[in-house]
Amino acid sequence: MPESDARVTAPQDPANLNDGRSLAYTRSDAYIVISPNCDFVPEPHVGLVQVYMCTDFRYGVHDPIQWPQIFSDDFEYLCAIRRRSPVYERRYSKIWDSPRDDVDFDHLPGIIFKNLGLLSKTWFAPLNQLVDDLAAEVQDFSRDADVHVLHLRRTMLDARDRILHFPSTFRDVCVQLRTVQRYWLMGRAYLDYARLTARTDFDSPMAADTRLMGTFVTHPAALQRLHRAGIPVWHIRPNVQLDDIVVDAVVVTEEPGLVSEPLERGGAPIYSGLVGTALFDAAKVVVALPLPSTQGKGMLKAVLTGVGAVMYHVRGRDKFLDPVHDWMPKRLRAWDVAMTSVDRSGPAKRQDALWGYWTPEPALLLGPQTIERTRRYLLNWLRIRTAWVYLLAFPDSGVTRVPPQWWRDFLNGDVEGTTSRDDTRKAKRLEQVRAVFKVAFDTLEYVPNPRDPVDWFGYRITEPPPSMCSFIVWEVHELGFRYELLALDRILVPCRNDASGESAREQLLSRIFPDHDLYYIRNLPHKPLGLSAELPHSRVHYLEAFRQVLLRWPLCPQAIHAADPLALTTPASCIEDLEVALTSFYVQTFFAYSGRAPIVPHALPEFHGVWPGRQ
């Protein structure tokens, strides 16, 4: 640990902390620091600062998980963050470790971009266990009553689940990993701080636990409380005339392993301002997956009340009806009622005002006239699927502006790349791919090999067997519903770029789905779950979560507001009646804003036949 010797002066103890131990002090032109319970003094950072994400995806010396900061009443528990130290790292080394791209990152085979993959489960296993242990401890501590620590827990678990199940680039995996590590440290600190400050015996201060980060305080009352809890604390005061008593002290200027080089040279800081609470808010770094802004506004009231005499124009196939196909999953009863009874008597939107699709329209995948061509569509979708879901996280990706013809051309053709500049169809398709994916990928990464098997839920597929095809279409319905629901909720309940509001939205909507799978499907279920569960009482918790989302929307029907919360004691007939009310309101509202039919959940197909062996 880099250190410097300092001549420091001992004045009268301002906090009356006369416990017989030596005091250490340091001074500068602007302040003095008084440490009542440590034999070292970190260099404090005060005033105006600029904070950047560094090359290790942390925030350098201004990061509260890496260096003591000014005490904040809103984040008081951060003083109990565990320091990086040799003793600490023996048990919790993964809290500070970083994976290596060429060793600890598993690239996925068979997809169109070679730089997507998942963090090695072997490397992540020790941290995964720490996350599970802390999550259980937090749950026991809070008993669902302490909202703040439950938020820390939920954010940690969500980031962990993305690492395990959401394929990303190595850089994004590292950002998610830092979120897991950061929120583990914050959750651990919350519990430790609560335990240390719960003491009632203030006559005997605890020895300072130098494993903890500690904090700088300006108020004597906070100094007393933290000192007696055994938390390293340093009292900052304006510089004053000191006595002539001089002692030696160690001034710690830098934590071992602390990285300060900005990730992007010349980039804008993530925070510029005074140290304190605002800095803590900026450095929390809840890594969300933003969606593109949804185009289109609607006259909701007019459509819901049936105002207007112009009939809804069906453009080609009626998309409120599923096409007849052996591989089209069956629509769930309540959603079928909602889709077939939607009021379409209002004026039709202009073609350029209709919403596009976040995922390919499921019926498009089943549009070819031959089984061979349909299977080719499905296989090419699986090759692009991982990159496409990753692309949805980028606000400027423009995925909803991709026309159906692009999907038809891409899904029907082979997907290998080419550097040819000729006017062949393959070269044109490559240019189209580049145009769509350039916001998220370097086109040098576009090197798919159509002969490689593609991974889908652990199955290695070179050609999907007929028994698997309906399951692939089922997942496309599930993904489409999730992203459309999220986009509509962002319009109806705007957060105005409020990061905490977006995090709360994500947690609220994720409760609708098994395993909180809002952005992806974590596992292919072996039986119907969530909104598609066969028994009403098996759907009740997910339907109530859906109701809680819709209650926030304008013009939510009184019948939904007045209904008692759905529970296991609710009669099955009441569950089903309210389910129809919920699905009908959702479908009508989506149509009012988008001008088109929504993608809605379908029943999980029945399994027949044998699938390729799993990895």
Per-residue confidence (pLDDT) for residue 240, from 0 to 100: 54
Q: What is the mean pLDDT of the chain?
A: 82
Task: Yes or no: say if 590 and 317 are a contact pair by the CB < 8 Å rule.
Answer: no
Best-predicted range by mean pLDDT among 284-288, 322-326, 392-396, 430-434? 322-326
Closest by Cα among 51, 53, 27 to 41 = 27
| DSSP element (H, E) containing 465 | none
The three-class DSSP label of residue 313 is: coil
- What the block records as the tokens of 248 is 């030696």
Per-residue confidence (pLDDT) for residue 587, from 0 to 100: 98
Q: Chain centroid to CA 128: how far? A: 17
Per-residue confidence (pLDDT) for residue 37, from 0 to 100: 72
Is the pLDDT at 553 greater than 90, yes or no? yes
Among the listed ranges 172-181, 256-265, 276-285, 563-572, which one has the minimum average pLDDT value?
276-285
Per-residue confidence (pLDDT) for residue 479, from 0 to 100: 97
pLDDT band at 301 (very low <50, low <70, confident <90, very high): very low
Strand ranges inside 284-391, DSSP E: none
**Residue 449 to residue 130: CA distance in whole angstroms:** 38
Encode pLDDT of 112-161 as tens digits: 888 999 999 999 999 999 999 999 999 999 887 888 899 899 889 989 99
Task: Yes or no: say if 308 and 554 are a contact pair by the CB < 8 Å rule.
Answer: no
Q: For residue 30, with 0-12 CB atoms within 10 Å meaning exposed, 13-18 middle and 19 or more buried, which class applies?
A: exposed
Provide the sign of the torsion angle of the four alpha carbons 88, 92, 93, 96, taken in this order.
Answer: negative
Among the listed ranges 239-248, 345-354, 496-505, which one has the minimum average pLDDT value?
239-248
Is the pLDDT at 46 greater than 70, yes or no? yes
Is the pLDDT at 440 greater than 80, yes or no? yes
Sequence-separated (6 or more) residues with CB below 8 Å from residue 334:
576, 579, 580, 582, 583
Closest by Cα among 358, 388, 599 to 473 = 599
Side chain identity at residue 260, one-letter code: S
pLDDT band at 17 (very low <50, low <70, confident <90, very high): very low
**Residue 611 to residue 463: CA distance in whole angstroms:** 11
Per-residue confidence (pLDDT) for residue 118, from 0 to 100: 95
Task: Yes or no: say if 407 and 360 are a contact pair by the CB < 8 Å rule.
Answer: yes
Give the DSSP per-residue string, 500-564: HHHHHHHHHHHTTSGGG-SSS--S--SS--GGG-SSHHHHHHHHHHHHHHHTTSTT--HHHHHSP
Encode pLDDT of 35-45 as tens digits: 777 767 788 88
Q: Does 419 or 135 have the greater pLDDT score?
A: 135
Is the pLDDT at 375 greater than 50, yes or no? yes
| Geometric angle at alpha carbon 259, from 253 and 262, rounded to 5° | 120
Is the pLDDT at 88 greater than 80, yes or no? no
Per-residue confidence (pLDDT) for residue 13, from 0 to 100: 39
Encode pLDDT of 328-342 as tens digits: 999 999 999 999 999
